[in-house]
A and B are shown apart, each in its own frame.
Chain A
Amino acid sequence: MSGIVCAIRGGPESQSPIRHAIQLAQETGETIYFVFVVNLDFMTMTASSRTHILSDQMRQMGEFILLAAQDQAMQEGVQATGSVRHGNVSEEIIALCQEIEADYVILGRPRADDQPNEFDIARLESFIGQLELQTNTRVVLADRGEPA
């Protein structure tokens, strides 16, 4: 197996990684594996006991976001699938790369503004190092998309 892993959350920030993934898939002929990771850490300080309700709703929302990305890819003539996973974002991306023996992983660049983001630059560099160490995947950083 091989393919291109593209981790997205949805929103305008994800457009750039999606476009990169589509372009790369067109060049290589590989399948895109869009991945959305459900992480409910934000509930820990407010409504931690309600995570059971939200988990399923977030999965459905993630599937919908991935479906929109798949739809976009297929309109460009590219084969794409989607996968919603639960847990730590870094660990889940690495796990998917290992499972499908991905050739590429497309990540968005961190935002420079004060908006919350999974990775700041230091964490991203650390994650890329970890990814390359544990998998044989090449990391491609996509430029930022249009701000929300």
Chain B
Amino acid sequence: MMRGWLRSDGRKGVRNVVVVAYLVECAHHVAREIVLPYRDNDVHLIGFPGCYANQYAYDMMRRLCTHPNVGAVLLVSLGCEGFDKRGLRAAIEETGRPVSSLVIQAHGGTRATIAQGRAWVEGARDSLDGLPTVPVGFEDLTIGTICGGSDGASGVSANPAVGRAFDRLIEEGAACMFEETGELIGCEHHMASRAATPELAGEIVKSVEKAAQYYAVLGHGSFAPGNAEGGLSTQEEKSMGAYAKSGTSRIVGLIKPGDLPKGGGLYLLDVVPDGEVRFGFPNISDNAEIVELIACGCQIILFTTGRGSVVGSAISPVIKICSNDETYRKLSEDMDINAGKILSASATLDEVGEEVFASVESVAGGARTKSEALGHQEFILTYKTFEPTGPSCLPSA
């Protein structure tokens, strides 16, 4: 049975994590040391490395620290960084979550701050462990999907299987999210035909054009050499395969990192920054996109892979769906579901889609994913700039 923790904003978490967040790279070591003894007890490390303030990074940290899977937060500051630590603390306090901040320069340096941090984390962990759980329904869930290390099989097995699961989840009332407009170059007009309103259709096409321009300036797109080794030849081919993750539901909204969905349905997350190319690649690795999905409220992530990614994430569990038998054999300890069965004809797309759906249900009931059990808690957050989301992007609002 799906169960979770009810938060003051009405959202429910399927995990009850204590987050330790460093607010500049200079506080990273101290924060990591605080977490170390409790890393198997749902105490997760997140943070922002930059010294200079950035609205996107602030908004992301605020959403992550008030994520439904998060029960308590310890902020670790060096002291002189630009991050608005008081604003973040106040935003967390408003939600009723236990929060504390430690400033290394004011608390006696590395050793003393680690000791105080560990004492606070132990207290927070104890109090969270005593909290009652409530039943969770599909309408309480926001599920994100991402593909990483794609190959020629991803687009015919794992990705469409996730698409089937998305269709089922949305039928049951869940909000589902797919992302990376740069990995959807070539699919924009088909996506537009699925949009809930003509205005949203126009915004979707514009978002992909923005991604194409952004990548053209950078010189190449979201296509890694490993993709070509896996049989994919072009960005458009990779896009068509990636697009299959979205299933067949109507697209009800186009959101940006940190925006929350307004009810159930299928959302496209635009992860490409607005304005001139300023801070480099939109997302430097898969986990940057996973963090953005989680900032939009995703409590569980469906990650399809062909070449074989092993990552998990801080805050939200990651379910790994492997596209082919060979990678599954090599990395079976890291893979939750083998969609390669579709290629060998020992299972249909519908059957594997059902398996993905059942896996969401069981992980939302507390079952650990492979990456969770192995201790994966990857996290990365870098500089970006976004304009506010326009009203025609969320017509259901």
Q: Do A and B bind each other?
A: no
Interface residue ranges, B against A (CB under 8 Å): none
